[in-house]
């Protein structure tokens, strides 16, 4: 049921009110091909004059091309299938099957390594290229190669999609609860203390198809955190104000999966200088909601006649400026093929291990009776620089869903978020947007 994403969003928003900025750091330029990061041993990618250059042998061999370098003419030749590409060091023009193509980036030699502009190297072999500025990542996709793995490969996922479609067809009442247990680091005169911040919330609402409405009420206990700040001489008036406001949290949510929009309204938004009476609209493409391939992606896939149709369409329109989603989707595209599911009779399980220093490992378990799916569990472990920092587990069956997220940002904070939703047949059709005349503010990025 699509409500689980919004369920998680609410809990995450509450946690984000307290997460320090700058908790994560960048890792330099990365090069991604068909969802996997290229690895460079002794010569890293270089960003020069707004172009990314890479050692020629590494990039061409990763693209399954044979490659040669002629020292006298300083010519690089790469051959893949019936395509022959030539670069001459210092010359911005390249030749593809004898035809000269003008570019604005010449290959060069640095530190005994010969570098080529990665965009033109990939495009010369028919590979699509994008640039994710935020992640400093070049994203390359060989769509022709990836398309070959699609036909007839997703019967297991089709059974899962049928389960989701049956769930979405119902009008449901929603009742649930959430509990948030955080420990925040406070540095004082006697070292660092990790002090608790806890929250408990009730949720009610309705769900049908790609629409869901939720009302949240509850409170957060920040007394220990205030006390620790005071002892450390760091307690500010705004900390006192925040703690008082969080004792009574009220929030409304409208989710519209058809428009890929989420609307939120809450008095607690005033803590960040926002209008407490306005609805705040988040577009999925402007948020981190579309950086993984999980419950929300499954719900979108269920709107197609088959998982194969969805994958084909998604591959054709893949946002190459979103490195995280490209990696997650392409890993799922391979990992959720029938050949990767292990069937033990009552469950079918697929494991996606991306194997990169900053990526996700995903385990999808389908609870089955014959060819029918009756529920599922998805567990996602996220890594930063090879260290696991968060685990998200989503469980669902025909009557109940649960979410459990843990996060550990070393030296800064830990988060343990749990929630359960119960569903019963209902008649209240959820709305898809705020009432006419109410103020709506669009949040960007």
* H or E, element range at 254: strand 249-256
The domain that holds 91 is classified in CATH as 3.30.457.10
CB atoms under 10 Å from CB of 437, counted, come to 5
pLDDT digits (tens, 9 = 90+) for 5-29: 444 445 545 544 444 433 444 557 9
Query: What is the rounded average pLDDT for all residues in the chain?
Result: 88
What is residue 305's three-state secondary structure? coil
Closest listed residue to residue 94, CA positions, set 81, 82, 85, 104: 85
Residue 417 pairs in a beta bridge with 180, 405
CB atoms under 10 Å from CB of 388, counted, come to 14
Q: Both 232 and 88 in a single domain? A: no
Asked whether residue 164 is domain-assigned, the answer is: yes
Q: Both 229 and 118 in a single domain? A: no
Closest listed residue to residue 41, CA positions, set 108, 93, 96, 113: 113
Asked whether residue 146 is domain-assigned, the answer is: no
Asked whether residue 382 is domain-assigned, the answer is: yes
Asked whether residue 40 is domain-assigned, the answer is: yes
Regions of the chain short of the pLDDT cut 70: 1-27, 284-291, 354-358, 445
Q: Both 301 and 165 in a single domain? A: yes
pLDDT digits (tens, 9 = 90+) for 194-231: 999 999 999 999 999 889 999 999 999 999 999 999 99
Q: What is the pTM of this model?
A: 0.84
The total number of structural domains in the chain stands at: 2
Q: What is the domain range of residue 239?
A: 3-25+151-443
């Amino acid at each position: 049921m699509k409500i689980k994403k919004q369920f998680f969003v609410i809990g995450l928003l509450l946690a984000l009110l307290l997460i320090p900025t700058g908790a994560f750091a960048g890792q330099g330029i990365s090069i991604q091909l068909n969802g996997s990061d290229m690895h460079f041993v002794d010569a890293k990618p270089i960003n020069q004059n707004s172009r990314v250059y890479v050692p020629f042998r590494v990039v061409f061999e990763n693209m399954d091309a044979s490659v040669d370098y002629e020292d006298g003419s300083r010519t690089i030749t790469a051959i893949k299938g019936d395509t022959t590409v030539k670069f001459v060091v210092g010359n911005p023009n390249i030749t593809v099957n004898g035809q000269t193509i003008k570019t604005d980036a010449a290959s060069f030699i640095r530190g005994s390594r010969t570098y080529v502009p990665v965009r033109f190297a990939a495009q010369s072999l028919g590979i699509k290229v994008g640039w994710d500025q935020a992640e400093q990542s070049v994203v390359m996709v060989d769509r022709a190669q990836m398309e070959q793995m699609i036909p007839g490969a997703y019967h297991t996922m089709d059974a899962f999609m049928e389960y989701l479609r049956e769930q979405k067809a119902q009008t449901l009442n929603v009742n649930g609860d959430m509990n948030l247990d955080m420990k925040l680091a406070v540095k004082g005169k006697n070292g660092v203390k990790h002090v608790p911040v806890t929250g408990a919330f009730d949720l009610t609402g309705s769900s049908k198809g790609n629409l869901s409405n939720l009302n949240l009420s509850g409170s957060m206990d920040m007394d220990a955190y205030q006390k620790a700040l005071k002892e450390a001489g760091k307690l500010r008036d705004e900390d006192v104000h925040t703690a008082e406001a969080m004792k009574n949290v009220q929030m409304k949510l409208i989710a519209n999966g058809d428009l890929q929009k989420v609307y939120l309204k809450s008095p607690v938004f005033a803590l960040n200088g926002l209008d407490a009476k306005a609805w705040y609209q988040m577009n999925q493409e402007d948020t981190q909601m579309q950086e993984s391939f999980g419950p929300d992606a499954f719900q979108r896939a269920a709107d197609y006649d088959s998982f194969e149709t969805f994958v084909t369409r998604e591959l054709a329109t893949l946002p190459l400026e979103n490195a995280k989603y490209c990696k997650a989707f392409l890993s799922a595209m391979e990992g959720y093929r029938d050949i990767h599911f292990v069937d033990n009779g009552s469950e079918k399980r697929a494991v996606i291990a991306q194997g990169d220093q900053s990526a996700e490992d995903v385990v999808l378990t389908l609870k089955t009776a014959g060819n029918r799916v009756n529920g599922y569990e998805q567990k996602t472990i996220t890594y930063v620089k090879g260290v696991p920092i968060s685990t998200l587990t989503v469980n669902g069956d025909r009557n109940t869903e649960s979410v459990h997220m843990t996060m550990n940002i070393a030296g800064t904070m830990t988060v343990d978020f749990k929630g359960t939703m119960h569903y019963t047949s209902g008649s209240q059709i959820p709305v898809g947007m705020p009432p006419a005349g109410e103020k709506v503010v669009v949040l960007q990025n």
